[in-house]
Every structure is written in structure tokens, then in C-alpha cells.
Structure 1
Amino acid sequence: MKAPALRYLLAGGIIFSLAACGSTGNEAGAAPAGKLAVVATTPEVADFVRVIGADDVAVTQIIKPNVDPHDYEPTPADLQAIGAAKVVVESGVGLEKWLDQTVQSAGFDGTVVDSSQGVALRKGDPGDEEMAGGDPHIWHNPLNAKIMVSNIEKGLAAADPDRAAAFAKNLAAYSAQLDQLDAANLAAWAKIPVEQRKLVTNHDAFGYYVDRYQLQFVGSVIPSMDTSAELSARQLQDLVAKIKATGTRAIFTESSLPPKTAGAIAQQAGVKVVGGEDALYGDSLGAQDTPQGTYLGAEQHNTLVLVGALGG
């Protein structure tokens, strides 16, 4: 763990165990004896399930780290895992466009938990049919993450009532950590003047974060909440002009998307590109067994990178 990340973690009072919150998953198939078999779609919800379920669940994670969930296509192993599971947990808001058909094809007869239930959604782009139901990147506001883990806890408790008390205890502890994450983020952004909080990213994945911490979203290299869209020549020129006009300081790349176009735009606009080890976690988490391989670690990383680049 980098020293700044450790300082941020300790300053926010957030202490968590990589063993409890890690991103390792079991192979497709039957769960070990005595454990509840759960399939989780994305790295974020898989991490949430591992935290709330702890040693009482066996989690199969469908989408691996740094894989774009917008264009994901399920595999035969995914169908096998879903068919053997008792619970399937999705992020929701249409992010997993492939899930309904996959669940049906797998012959799944358990419970599907939509972790987005109850979250106040940002509106999708009216011109983007796939995102018309709302912005699916709900986890970037820790208060939304609290709703997501609460939904997951209810789903696990319904599927395994004998362990409901343990799930509830884990939920209470993790909800406190999410509150600490939010407080640390608020404190970090309070040190950055509002006029410097201008954000340009690979794609429009951080709307909930922008709203929560009062940033200004200037634009994105991919002009959509989905990653399949592409900038036209006119849109590219407009984005360069907007970056210059607003005094935006940087373009932030994302771990699951190629940075090439961002670099070209940054060169034209005369700003820096923040990427590599400092790439943001927009649609994914980091590698397994790293701090960024957990939701808490990835979100702490994002705030460290953003505040460091925009406050310098």
C-alpha cells in the first residue's frame, strides 16, 4: 500500500481486513459444505457480498477486475455457476444487460437480489437508450453503497435465516466503515477550492461522486455512461475547447479503459493525463489481494488521486 493511501486510511479511521474484503472468488460449481452459494456480477457487489457474508458464503464473481461490464458477454462457466447458486446478486440499473437471459438459460430457481433497490438514481442520457433507465454507477457515493449492502444483507438473510444475525452484525460494522469513508472524502475535498474541482474522465462514470462531493463534470472522452460510444470529431473539438475555457487541470483515465484517446485530447488541450498506477477505478476494482481490490480501497484511491491532481 502506498504511504499516502495509508495516511488517508488511518486519518479517516478506516481499518479493514483484506482477508475479509478481498476479491478472490471460488471456481464455478457447488459451494463448500455448509456455505451459501452466491453468484455476484461485478467486482463491487462481489466485494460487498464477501464482507456481509464473510465465512458463511462462497462467492463466484462473474466479471473480473478491469473488465468492462458494459460489453460483457457471459461464458458457459457463468451459466454453470448461476445454475448451482442459491442467490444471484446484481449491481442493477441495467448495468448487467445480459443477466436476465443468462439466469433463464441457466435454469436458476433461487433469489436474484437487485442491490440498487431504493437508491435515488441520476437520470441517464436521453439520447442513450441503454442508459435511459438511469446512471448505473451508483456505488461511487458511499451512501448509496450503504443501501446496496443493506439490500444484500436482506437477500442473504432470506436465503439463510439461520445466519441472519451474523449477516446483520457484519452489515452494521461495514456500514460504519462506509460512513467513515464518506467523512474522509468530505474532509479531503473541503481543502480543495470549488473552482478547482473540475473533472474530465474516460467516460461518464462518476456522476454520483460528482454530486456528493460538489465537483464540476466538464466532460468525458467517451460521451456516454456506456463505454461503447465514441466521440465525433466535432465532439472532440468541443471537449478540448471546454477544457481550455474552464481551466480544467487534468484528464483522468480509468483502469478498465484504454488511455490513448485521453492522451491525444490532453495534448491538444495542454493539460496532463493522470493514468497508469493512478488510473481511476470507474467500472471496476483493482487486482486481487491488493487494497484497491476492495471497494473501500478503490474509492480511497480515487479520492487520493483526484484531490492530489486537482489541488496541486
Structure 2
Amino acid sequence: MTVKAIGRRSTVHHPQRLTAAAALAAVAATSLTACGTTAGANSGDAQGGGTVKVVATTTQVADFVRNIGGDRVTVTQLVKPNASPHEYEPTPAALQAIGEAALLVKNGVGLEDEWLPKTVQASGFDGESVDTSTGITLRQGEDHETGKTADDPHIWHNPLNAKIMSETIEKALIKADPSHKADYQDNFTAYAAKLDALDKDIAGQINSLPADDRKLVTNHDAFGYYIDRYHLTYVGSVIPDFSDQAELSGSQLDSLVDKIKKQKVMAVFGETSLPPKTAQAIARQSGVKVVAGDGSLYGDSLGPKGSAGDTYLKSMEFNTKTIVDALK
């Protein structure tokens, strides 16, 4: 029986989003001249008692900046909670924030390549760009559309990578605001200890599962670093690609159903930034439980304020408990 491919876009809608060109035109029309502010002026404000203006692309990167920067930074986060970082269209307010920023902090590994370069160009940004993937050992997989080897951009799903990302942010903030070097160092030390504790806790929870039951099927191929770090088995994903924007193939979904049955997978996990219907259909056809809706994993995005995944630490704790509970 063929499983029909159902929807692939994020369930979070932004009716006022514009293309980069349209947003830039709107900025010009409303005389948002602050986009021309230079990085030097912003970093100088920080040294004079103000805060460092930082634009962070993704929810995870923004959370790292807030933890390392503390009250020394003002953070504008581009991608909204429960939204896909693989696609983004800027608003006039976002372009203004980028143009005024001293630092632009991104995930890297191509995650934002579809939209970030044109957005930065449209904003007139003249600050320092920070790639938080610097120094991280990347895992590779096959690009679904091209068939070529590609780097996996979902680096934050290993807490030890999150520590490297946070250290890169620490160094960038010290460079932008050297008079508060000790603050950034102290914040990083405290947060790094929490990341180490998180890593140890996750390992303990996953190790409580029988080795044969540590099999993961998710909405898209976003958990490779988590799987590698904690020694799970990746069986497949509803969208067999690092990007959640890949086209779905009926034959691939049928093949996934067969794998789930043959390998006796216990559950299929949805993700908060993706519609649950296809994951639910896969689970029904496979005869296994589905974790979807409000209980979905935080894959590409953190959750909104007040949710179980509104910080990086909480999202990883939630994901691990959800996985362990479903695979017991």
C-alpha cells in the first residue's frame, strides 16, 4: 500500500513576511536610516556602558548568545520559535536590526544559505559575522536532491558541539566588547558546565534502554549528531534529507514503512516545526506508536516562551525524555 505524502512546510505562518527585496523597499520607504550604523559604533556603545547589539539567525544560536552575553547584549532573533531555519523571509524590522548590529551570529554549515546572504546584503550590514560551526567536526550524509555528499548542519544536537558554538560566541563578544571580557568568560564557564551535565544526563538516559530498542525514525534527517553521540540507530526519516524542504517520494515512504516493520521500530517521532500528518500516516501503516502534535521533538527550532523547549537545555532534556519514554 502506498503512503501518500502529505504537506512538508512549517505549520507556523507569518502573513506579514516579505521577500528581501520587498522588505528593503519597505525600509527605504519608511526612512529606516539606522541600517547604516557601523559595527565600530555599536561595539563602542558597549564599552561606554551600553549593550552589544547582536542579531542571531536561529533559535538555538540566539539562546547561546543570551547565555554567554547576559545583560551585556541586546539580541534580535530572526527565526521564530517552532519555525524552520531552512527558509526565512525578512521583515523591515529584521533588516533594520541587522543593519544596526555589531555582530551577526549564524549556525553555519549551509543552514541559512538559502536566505541569509541576500538578507544581509539588503540590510547594509557592516558588522562582524560569526559562524558558530567553526571548529566542529561535521558529519556527512547524502543530499537527497543532488545525490552528492553533504555536511549535516544540525550541529547543536550534540551538547559538546553546543559548547564549541558557545565558546565561539564568547570570543566574538570579547572582541566586540573587551572591557567586559571577564563577564563573558564567567558566563561561558557556567554555561559550559551545564552543557557537560546535560551530556552526561542524556547518555545515562539513553543507556537505560536496551541496545536493540535504540532505533529512531523522525520527520526529517535532523538528529544525526544526537544519534552518533548517544549510539542510537538511525532507521530513516519521513523526509529523507537534511533540509525539511525536500520533496517527498511515495516509494521512499513505502520503503521506510518496510524498514520500520523489519527492524521492529517502536515509534515514529514528529517535530514541532513540521506538520504531523505524514508521520502519523507512516506510523499507522507501520503499526507503531507516533509521537506527534504537542509531544513532538524539538528538531530544527526551540519552542515559544513557556513551552517545554523554550531553551536549548530544556529542549534537549525534553527530547531525551520523550525518546526514552516512547522506546521503553
| Paired AA for residue 34 in structure 1 | G
Alignment-derived partner of residue 83 in structure 2: 67
Alignment-derived partner of residue 298 in structure 2: 281
Relative to structure 1, the CA distance from residue 130 to residue 145 in structure 2 (aligned partners, 3 Å threshold; closer, same or farther) is: farther
Distance, in Å, in 1 between the alignment partners of 2:50 and 2:150 is 38
Alignment-derived partner of residue 120 in structure 1: 137
Distance, in Å, in 2 between the alignment partners of 1:46 and 1:140 is 15
Q: Does 1:80 align with 2:96?
A: yes
Distance, in Å, in 2 between the alignment partners of 1:291 and 1:306 is 14
Alignment-derived partner of residue 233 in structure 2: 216
User: Pairwise mapping of residues 256-295 of structure 1 onto structure 2 (< 5 A)?
Assistant: 256-295=273-312
Distance, in Å, in 2 between the alignment partners of 1:187 and 1:134 is 28
| Paired AA for residue 286 in structure 1 | G
Counterpart secondary structure, 2:66: helix
Contact in 1 for aligned 2:269/2:296 (Cα 8 Å) = yes
Contact in 1 for aligned 2:280/2:292 (Cα 8 Å) = no
| Paired AA for residue 258 in structure 1 | P
Shift of 1:131: 8.8
Contact in 2 for aligned 1:38/1:59 (Cα 8 Å) = yes
Q: Does 1:55 align with 2:71?
A: yes
Any stretches of 5+ residues in structure 1 without a counterpart?
1-27
Relative to structure 1, the CA distance from residue 127 to residue 291 in structure 2 (aligned partners, 3 Å threshold; closer, same or farther) is: closer
Any stretches of 5+ residues in structure 2 without a counterpart?
1-31
Taking every aligned residue pair, what percent have the same amino acid on both sides?
56
Alignment-derived partner of residue 93 in structure 1: 109
Q: Quick check: 38-47 or 220-229, which moved more? A: 220-229
- Post-superposition Cα deviations, 1:91-124, rounded to whole Å, max 9, x if no partner, equal 1101111212222221111110000001100113
Shift of 1:283: 0.3
Alignment-derived partner of residue 199 in structure 2: 182
Q: What TM-score comes out, normalization by structure 1 length?
A: 0.87
Relative to structure 1, the CA distance from residue 126 to residue 264 in structure 2 (aligned partners, 3 Å threshold; closer, same or farther) is: closer
| Paired AA for residue 106 in structure 1 | S
Distance, in Å, in 2 between the alignment partners of 1:104 and 1:263 is 41
- Post-superposition Cα deviations, 1:195-231, rounded to whole Å, max 9, x if no partner, equal 0001000000000000001111111111111011133
Contact in 2 for aligned 1:94/1:131 (Cα 8 Å) = no
- Post-superposition Cα deviations, 1:62-90, rounded to whole Å, max 9, x if no partner, equal 00101111122222222111001000100
Contact in 2 for aligned 1:122/1:208 (Cα 8 Å) = yes
**Rg larger for:** 2
Alignment-derived partner of residue 301 in structure 1: 318
Alignment-derived partner of residue 35 in structure 1: 51
CA RMSD after TM alignment: 1.9
Aligned partner (choices 246, 255, 259) of residue 238 of structure 1:
255
User: Pairwise mapping of residues 108-187 of structure 1 onto structure 2 (< 5 A)?
Assistant: 108-129=125-146, 133-187=150-204
Contact in 2 for aligned 1:41/1:91 (Cα 8 Å) = yes
Contact in 1 for aligned 2:143/2:150 (Cα 8 Å) = no
Number of residues of Structure 1 aligned to a counterpart in Structure 2: 284
Distance, in Å, in 2 between the alignment partners of 1:243 and 1:106 is 47
Relative to structure 1, the CA distance from residue 123 to residue 175 in structure 2 (aligned partners, 3 Å threshold; closer, same or farther) is: same
Aligned partner (choices 173, 187, 206) of residue 223 of structure 2:
206
Distance, in Å, in 1 between the alignment partners of 2:223 and 2:83 is 17
Shift of 1:130: 11
| Paired AA for residue 139 in structure 1 | W
Shift of 1:292: 1.5
| Paired AA for residue 123 in structure 1 | Q
Distance, in Å, in 2 between the alignment partners of 1:47 and 1:191 is 29
